[in-house]
């Protein structure tokens, strides 16, 4: 449990963005450099380096407090000011101790300032141009005032005993060229990356909208009940609202696939009017590709396509479109057509997938419609069978009534006659004949009672 709590605390302290990461890295490098100074000839500078490291930690703390932009600008200032501070202090100590200063000491900090352009470029987006310019300004000023500030504090290039005659021109020229190259290179790279991220964000947002639409259409009452007319209208209206400047229509094929008939359309054009028919002979290439591939994604109406060649499909009057088949009884039942009105627009992969899924919903709509028809037919057959059983039951009940009252009456009279004969004329007749007469009456009585019981049982069921 204690280990879990400790791990959670460490995770909470981890950097959350690039500004925090750079701030912690600079703090760590300052600690290492302070230890190095502690055991070197500049041991009196270690506390200054340690203090600089603590200052480097301020942007990290500001970021955790929610001041991300201010922390980034402050970090851009710190990565220039602190190297300046350490460079001047180091050179002052070296001159005070009569230690030779190498020409490299005037290039290392300048190189660090040039590379510091990474801080604002990687942490501030191009959308925040004012903040990006504010983050780059300290770096530019550091380049401009590098030598003047060193000379002001008495540690200039020539004051250190160095004698290169073309120092100012060569160093500043190459420094500004390198700095400018990095700035423009990072701006181009940053523009490309952020543009890709924005495009990816837009595509994700479109996919979320498309998924929401498809979920609503799939769970709609018309879809579940298989209502074709309302289902067609719901899909056409939803797609025309989501896909801007698009004519959406649903067509059904004839029995022999010789034509297609428009059922529902969001367009007011005559060719998309209800019951408008288009025959295969009008555009054989279009119908051949449609039945072969199941989907046609055409950008023939785009400006580039119109300049390069003629339209591929005559049926759509030179406009870009996506047509996709839907199925009925396992065969192509019709198509969903989406036609662009904007000549400068292309169909994206997300648009095509969205329309493809809508076409699948049309197939599902027809499947539900067929299932609904079969269910209704089954209900009719059940009702007919029930009515027939009720009729048979009534007939059985009538026969049971006949058996109980009409058929048993003669048996009862015969049995009564037998009793009279047995009582009055038994002496005149043989006992064998009377016994056979009685047995026959009893068997007939048992048979009628058994029939009555069987019919009564069937009638009750």
pLDDT, tens digit, for every residue of 220-260? 998 988 888 899 999 999 998 998 888 898 999 988 888 88
**pLDDT on residue 426:** 61
In a domain, 228, yes or no: yes
Can you give the pLDDT at residue 235? Answer: 92
**Does 291 score more than 60 pLDDT?**
yes
Q: Which of the four pLDDT bands, split at 50, 70 and 90, describes residue 362?
A: very high
pLDDT-based confidence at residue 445 (cuts at 50, 70, 90):
confident
| Residue 68 located in a structural domain | yes
Where residue 310 sits, what CATH number does that domain have?
A: 3.30.450.40
Specify the pLDDT at position 268.
Answer: 67
Domain boundary among 326, 349, 375: 375
154-210, pLDDT tens digit by residue? 888 888 888 878 888 888 888 888 888 888 888 898 889 888 988 899 889 999 999
Q: Name the residue range of residue 340's domain.
A: 216-375
Q: Is 260 left (phi over 0), alpha (psi -120 to 50) or beta?
A: beta
The answer to whether residue 344 is domain-embedded is yes
Which 8-state DSSP code applies to residue 219? T
The pLDDT value given to residue 114:
85
Where does the pLDDT of residue 309 fall: very low under 50, low under 70, confident under 90, or very high at 90 and above?
very low
Averaging pLDDT over each range in 98-112, 137-151, 300-314, which range is the top one? 137-151
Measured CA to CA in angstroms, residue 121 lies from 75, 127, 185, 312, 414 at distances of 12, 12, 10, 47, 121
Number of domains in the chain: 3
| Same domain (yes/no): 130, 161 | yes
The encoded tokens of residue 381 equal: 């057959």
CA distance 126 to 92: 40
Decide if 207 is inside a domain.
no
This prediction's pTM: 0.64
Between 317 and 302, whose confidence is greater? 317
Q: Answer whether residue 159 is part of any domain.
A: yes
| H helix intervals, 97-155 | 108-115, 118-123, 129-144, 146-152
Closest to 358 measured CA to CA, from 225, 250, 255, 206? 250
Q: Could you give the percent of the chain with pLDDT greater than 90? A: 10
Query: In this predicted structure, what is the pLDDT of residue 304?
Result: 46
Q: Are 145 and 113 in contact (CB under 8 A)?
A: no
CB 366 within 8 A of CB 328: yes
Could you list the beta-strand ranges (E) of 223-330: 246-253, 259-265, 277-279, 295-298, 321-328
Residue 14 confidence (pLDDT): 61
Quick one: pLDDT at residue 442? Answer: 74
pLDDT recorded at residue 159: 84
Beta strand residue intervals within 195-273, DSSP E: 246-253, 259-265
Q: What is the model's pLDDT at position 461?
A: 56
The answer on pLDDT for 382 being more than 80 is: yes
Same domain, 342 and 390: no
The lowest-confidence range among 21-25, 179-183, 350-354, 437-441 is: 437-441
In the three-class reduction of DSSP (H, G, I as helix; E, B as strand; rest coil), residue 324 is classed as strand
Same structural domain for residues 33 and 98? yes
234 with 187, same domain: the answer is no
Q: Give the closest residue to 348 by CA, choosing from 240, 202, 194, 198.
A: 202
**Domain match, 355 and 417 both:** no
Structure tokens at 206: 């479109």
- Let me know whether 283 and 337 are in one domain: yes
Looking at the fold, whether 290 and 428 belong to one and the same domain comes out as no
Does residue 319 have a pLDDT over 90? no
More confident: 445 or 25: 25
Average pLDDT over residues 262-274: 72
- Mean pLDDT computed over every residue of the chain: 80
Chosen domain end from 375, 399, 418: 375
In a domain, 2, yes or no: no
């Amino acid at each position: 449990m204690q280990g879990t709590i400790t791990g959670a605390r460490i995770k909470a302290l981890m950097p959350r963005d690039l500004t925090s990461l750079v701030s912690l890295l600079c703090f760590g490098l300052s600690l290492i450099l302070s230890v190095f100074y502690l055991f070197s000839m500049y041991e009196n500078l270690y506390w200054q380096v340690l203090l600089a490291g603590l200052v480097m930690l301020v942007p990290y703390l500001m970021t955790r407090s929610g001041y991300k932009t201010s922390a980034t600008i402050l970090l851009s200032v710190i990565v220039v000011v602190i190297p300046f501070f350490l460079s001047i202090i180091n050179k002052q100590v070296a001159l005070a101790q009569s230690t030779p200063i190498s020409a490299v000491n005037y290039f290392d900090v300048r190189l660090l300032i040039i590379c510091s352009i990474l801080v604002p470029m990687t942490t501030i987006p191009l959308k925040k141009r004012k903040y990006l310019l504010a983050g780059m300004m300290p770096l530019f000023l550091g380049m401009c005032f590098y030598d003047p500030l060193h000379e002001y504090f008495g540690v200039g290039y020539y004051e250190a005993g160095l004698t290169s005659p073309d120092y100012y021109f060569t160093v500043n020229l190459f420094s500004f060229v390198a700095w400018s190259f990095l700035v423009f290179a990072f701006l181009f790279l940053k523009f490309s990356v952020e543009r890709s991220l924005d495009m990816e964000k837009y595509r994700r947002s479109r996919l979320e909208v498309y998924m929401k639409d498809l979920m609503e259409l799939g769970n709609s009452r018309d879809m579940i009940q298989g209502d074709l007319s309302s289902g067609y209208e719901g899909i056409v209206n939803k797609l025309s609202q989501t896909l801007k400047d698009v004519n959406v229509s649903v067509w059904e094929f004839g029995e022999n696939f010789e034509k297609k008939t428009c059922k529902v359309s969001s367009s007011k054009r005559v060719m998309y009017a209800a019951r408008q028919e288009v025959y295969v002979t009008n555009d054989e290439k279009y119908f051949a590709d449609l039945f072969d591939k199941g989907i046609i994604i055409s950008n023939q109406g785009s400006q580039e396509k119109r300049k390069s060649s003629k339209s591929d499909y005559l049926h759509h009057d030179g406009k870009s479109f996506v047509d996709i088949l839907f199925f009925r009884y396992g065969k192509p039942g019709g198509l969903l057509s989406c036609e662009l009105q904007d000549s400068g627009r292309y169909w994206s992969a997300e648009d095509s997938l969205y329309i493809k899924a809508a076409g699948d919903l049309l197939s599902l709509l027809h499947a539900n419609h067929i299932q609904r028809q079969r269910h209704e037919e089954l209900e009719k057959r059940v009702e007919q069978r029930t009515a027939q059983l009720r009729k048979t039951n009534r007939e059985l009940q009538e026969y049971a009534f006949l058996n109980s009252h009409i058929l048993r009456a003669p048996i009862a009279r015969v049995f009564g006659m037998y009793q009279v004969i047995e009582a009055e004329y038994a002496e005149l007749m043989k006992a064998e004949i009377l016994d056979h007469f009685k047995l026959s009456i009893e068997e007939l009585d048992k048979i009628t009672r058994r029939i009555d019981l069987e019919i009564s049982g069937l009638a009750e069921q």
